[in-house]
Amino acid sequence: MSQDKISKRRLMLVGTGFVGMSFAYSLLHEKGIDELVLVDVNEDKARGEAMDLADGLVYADTKMKVYAGTYADAEFCNIVVLTAGAAQRPGQSRLELVKINANITKGVCEQLKANKFDGILVVANNPVDIMTYVAWKASGLPKQHVIGSGTVLDTARLRVELSDLLGFAPSNIHAYILGEHGDSSFVSWTNSFIGCKSLLEYLDENQIDLMQLQNVYIDVRDKAYKIIDLKKATYYGIGLALKRIVSAILNNERCILPVSSYQNGEYTKYGYFISTPTVVGSDGATQILTLPLNENEQNRFNNSFDTLVKTINENLGDIIDLD
* Catalytically annotated residues: 181
Question: Given strand 120-123, what is the order of strands in its sheet?
Answer: 65-68, 35-39, 10-14, 79-82, 120-123, 146-148, 260-264, 270-275
Identify residue 175 by its one-letter amino acid code.
A
Short-list 262, 165, 254, 178, CA closest to 215: 165
Instruction: Please give the Cα distance from 306 to 316 (Å, whole number).
Output: 15
Query: How close are the terminal C-alpha atoms of the chain, in Å?
Result: 30
What value does the CA radius of gyration of the chain take, rounded to a whole number of Å? 19
Spatial distance between the Cα atoms of 78 and 141, rounded to a whole number of angstroms: 13
CA dihedral 172, 30, 127, 267 (to 10 degrees): -50
Give dist(CA 25, CA 38) in Å, integer.
Answer: 12
